[in-house]
């Protein structure tokens, strides 16, 4: 099945001629080609051999549709990056045509998962890292659009192909990038079209598929077991400058984000216990009036307390104060590459994996505590289940507690240095 409007490559020439003749007559009356026409012409080009169309009407139809782009009567090749092989054209045409026919006024709509409205965050309110990341993505998108001469239909199909093939997070990142590009280039109609698309889960349902909320690679990184041997090997491979060799261990026992490490302070309490104080750097926490810092406590004489005390004696109370996060990322990648032959699992490991490992261990402690206090079926009590999740959210510094559900799904191995 190709497109629903008579485009099946059947031997019945009458049906083919009827479709193309009807559309060509509409063009002669002044009607502009719609998204279904663009997708149909794209398929015609794919099924032809180097421009050898099966009928004169096909060639005329193709040339009319793509000449409309440049307003000149000559053959215009399709973009080299062709989306028609990646999506079901029947479904794509149906979705895009409805957008063009029922274009609503601009109105931010809710994200089906987090309950948030889809609005572009003000550029000035974004972190420097996010601005750099979006800047790179927008520049790459702009280059592709200019070189390939994408129409709004092409861009919508590109976004549908992302939803069709990839996870929800990839779709939302692509959608936000397109929206930012459209806003910067004054493409208000494209902004409305993109914003009017169905939510990710509904698009997947249209294509007859189940939504993928997390990519396979992301799940692998999140659930990779971190052995004591792997951590020790990483610490040996990392440079001693600015105490970088201690970063993997502190990340694992604190659950800190890498960007929060320079703020980490080590305190020894009067009872001999040790605490880590971490300042939260996520801007969302500040906007929601969430606590801007958190403490991770370790009992006196515990392995963690002894090791943190040793780090304090050697490096001071704030060991990573002068560390550059970008430099550490580079050193971490280099150390991983050198260790891949000895530790195959390290290929799936990234810096954020330490945060997931911390969450897994803490979740286990919290669940054991609730089970001991409230019995085996404590999870059936909604208040207790919410309280347990809130405890983990507090340790992770989450302002949106729904995100906490992504953390802590596989046991992590204990280790000592």
Q: For residue range 366-384, what is the model confidence (pLDDT) as tens digits?
A: 888 888 888 888 888 888 8
Segment 45-68 shows an average pLDDT of 69
Which of 50-54, 63-67, 224-228, 377-381 has the least mean pLDDT?
50-54
Evaluate if residue 160 carries a pLDDT over 70.
Answer: yes
Identify the pLDDT of residue 248. 92
**DSSP assignment letter at 31:** P
Q: Evaluate the CA torsion angle 157, 159, 163, 167 in order and state its sign.
A: positive
- Tokens encoding 9: 């490559």
DSSP letters for 92-141: HHHHHHHHHHT-PPP---B-TTT--B--PPPGGGS-HHHHHHHHHHHHHH
**Higher-pLDDT residue of 145, 35:** 145
The whole-angstrom separation of Cα 269 and Cα 266 is: 10
Segment 381-388 shows an average pLDDT of 87
Which of 50-59, 98-107, 169-178 has the least mean pLDDT?
98-107
In the β-sheet with 274-279, what is the strand arrangement from edge to edge? 265-268, 274-279, 293-298
Residue 86: what are its φ and ψ, rounded to 5°? -110, -10
Which of 54-63, 99-108, 172-181 has the least mean pLDDT?
99-108
The whole-angstrom separation of Cα 31 and Cα 123 is: 40
pLDDT in tens, 262-311: 999 999 988 889 999 998 766 555 455 567 888 899 998 899 999 999 99
Identify the pLDDT of residue 414. 43
Segment 1-11 shows an average pLDDT of 33
Segment 310-335 shows an average pLDDT of 90
Identify the pLDDT of residue 214. 60
Evaluate if residue 401 carries a pLDDT over 80.
Answer: no
**Is residue 278 a contact partner of residue 209, using CB atoms and an 8 Å limit?**
no
Identify the pLDDT of residue 193. 84
pLDDT in tens, 97-120: 777 776 544 444 444 444 445 567
9: confidence class by pLDDT, cuts 50, 70, 90 = very low
Q: What is the mean pLDDT of the chain?
A: 76
Share of the chain above pLDDT 90, in %: 11
Identify the pLDDT of residue 250. 92
Segment 58-86 shows an average pLDDT of 59
The CA distances from residue 330 to 233, 238, 259, 336, 337, in Å, are 17, 10, 14, 10, 11
Identify the pLDDT of residue 246. 93
pLDDT in tens, 234-251: 999 998 888 999 999 999
Per-residue burial over 142-168, b = 16 or more CB atoms within 10 Å of its CB, e = otherwise: eeebeeeebbbbbbbbbbbbbbbeebb
Identify the pLDDT of residue 154. 79
Identify the pLDDT of residue 145. 81
**Is residue 378 a contact partner of residue 363, using CB atoms and an 8 Å limit?**
no
Residue 267: what are its φ and ψ, rounded to 5°? -120, 140
Identify the pLDDT of residue 218. 64
Identify the pLDDT of residue 82. 53
**Higher-pLDDT residue of 165, 298:** 298
For 255-350, where are the alpha helices, taking DSSP H only?
A: 283-287, 303-315, 325-339
Identify the pLDDT of residue 115. 42
């Amino acid at each position: 099945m190709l497109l629903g409007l008579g485009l099946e490559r059947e031997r019945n020439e009458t049906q083919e001629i009827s479709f193309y003749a009807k559309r060509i007559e509409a063009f002669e009356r002044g009607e502009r080609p719609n998204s279904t026409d663009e997708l149909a012409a794209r398929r015609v080009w794919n099924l032809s051999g180097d421009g050898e169309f099966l009928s004169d009407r096909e060639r005329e139809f193709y040339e009319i549709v793509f000449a409309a782009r440049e307003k000149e009567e000559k053959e215009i090749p399709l973009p080299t990056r062709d989306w028609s092989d990646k999506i079901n054209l029947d479904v794509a045409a149906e979705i895009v045509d409805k957008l063009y026919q029922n274009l609503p006024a601009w109105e931010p709509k809710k994200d089906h998962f987090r309950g948030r409205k889809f609005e572009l965050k003000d550029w000035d309110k974004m972190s420097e890292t996010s601005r750099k990341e979006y800047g790179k993505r927008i520049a790459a998108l702009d280059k592709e659009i200019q070189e390939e001469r994408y129409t709004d239909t092409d861009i919508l199909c590109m976004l549908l192909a992302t939803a069709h093939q990839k996870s929800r997070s990839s779709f939302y990142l692509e959608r936000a990038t397109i929206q930012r590009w459209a806003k910067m280039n004054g493409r208000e109609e494209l902004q409305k079209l993109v914003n009017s698309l169905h939510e990710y889960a509904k698009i997947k349902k249209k294509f007859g598929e189940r939504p993928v909320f997390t990519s396979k690679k992301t799940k692998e990184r999140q659930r990779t077991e971190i052995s004591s041997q792997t951590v020790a090997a990483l610490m040996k491979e990392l440079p001693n400058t600015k105490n970088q060799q201690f970063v993997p261990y502190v990340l694992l026992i604190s659950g800190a984000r890498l960007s929060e490490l320079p703020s980490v302070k080590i305190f020894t309490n009067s009872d001999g216990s040790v605490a880590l104080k971490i300042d939260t750097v996520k801007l969302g926490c500040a906007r929601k009036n969430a606590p801007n810092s958190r403490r991770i406590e370790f009992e006196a004489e515990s392995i963690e307390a002894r090791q943190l005390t040793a780090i304090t004696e050697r490096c001071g109370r704030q060991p990573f104060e002068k560390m550059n996060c970008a430099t550490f990322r580079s050193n971490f990648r280099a150390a991983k590459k050198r260790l891949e032959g000895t530790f195959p699992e390290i290929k799936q490991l990234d810096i954020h994996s330490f945060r997931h490992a911390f969450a897994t261990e803490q979740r286990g402690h919290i669940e054991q505590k609730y089970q001991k206090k409230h019995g085996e079926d404590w999870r059936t009590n909604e208040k207790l289940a919410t309280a347990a999740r809130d405890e983990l959210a507090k340790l992770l510094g989450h302002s949106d507690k729904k995100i906490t559900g992504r953390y802590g799904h596989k046991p992590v191995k204990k280790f000592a240095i």
